[in-house]
Copies of this chain bind each other. A is one copy, B any other.
Amino acid sequence: MFKKVLVAEDIDSINEGLIAILKKTFNFDVHHAKYCDNAYLKIRKAQQDGRPYDLLITDLSFKQDHHTNTLNSGDELVAKLREQNIPMKVIIYSIEDRPEKIRTFFKRLNINSYICKGRNSTKEMVRAIKMLTETDQYVSAELQQTLRAAPVMEIEEYDILLINELANGNAQDEIAFLFKKQGIRPASKSSIEKRINRLKNYFKAKNTAHLVSIVKDMGLL
């Protein structure tokens, strides 16, 4: 069972609600941080003091305010922890429910569980924590299904870069120029045209504006 737990979450009502439940249900030493930077520092310090955290529960998006932070989101925080091989289990607790996004967190950040904020999320959280004392990874049946359901599309980094340039208002000529300068490989206007066409076809977009709109709605941008 975990002993020392850190909750990284900026919204106070969630913070307080969640911590109350954790304390009531488990016998944790629960701390919390309202900023990612602050969370990172606490984790580092705890480790150096020989009393490391066993578990991090973190939100994804944190509001910007007058504080200037180097880490601006939960995934950046986790990435940094993983990079530095700080050994602790991680649960992401967020409103984000798009499978494309969630899949990348398991894949790239090797998180141990993901809980969608929702109508039964505290119960889910309790279950996940209990499971993680035994296994290394926990995905609820419901989440498993949504992750399975969405067909893995063959959209690459390149496509996202491309659509991003379109969303920034660059013409195909300009994108070709930019890509050549940056050494991004298919860089000719012709290839870019072709790729945009493929994407429009894939997303059933009638034109460029439509494509940008669709991809933005999906949260890929």
Which residue numbers of A lie inside 8 Å of B, CB to CB?
10-18, 20-21, 34, 63, 65, 95, 97, 117-123, 166-171, 205-213, 216-217
Contacts and interface: CB of A to CB of B under 8 A. Distances in A.
A10 B120 CA distance: 9
A146 B36 CA distance: 24
Contact of A11 (B12, B16, B95): B95
B210 A213 contact: no
B169 A207 contact: yes
Contact of A205 (B117, B169, B211): B169
A6 B121 CA distance: 21
29 contacts: A10-B119, A11-B95, A11-B117, A11-B118, A11-B121, A12-B119, A12-B120, A12-B123, A13-B13, A13-B14, A13-B18, A13-B117, A13-B121, A15-B17, A16-B17, A16-B20, A17-B17, A17-B20, A63-B97, A63-B118, A63-B119, A167-B212, A168-B206, A168-B210, A169-B210, A207-B208, A208-B209, A209-B212, A213-B216
A63 to B, nearest CB: 5
A174 to B, nearest CB: 9
Given A20-B20, A216-B216, A167 B210 contact: yes
Nearest to A67: B119
B118 A12 contact: yes
A143 to B, nearest CB: 13
Contact of A206 (B20, B122, B169, B210): B169
Contacts of A206: 168-171
- Of A65, A167, A171, chain B has the most CB atoms within 10 Å of the CB of A167
Contacts of A205: 169
A107 to B, nearest CB: 24
A199 B199 CA distance: 27
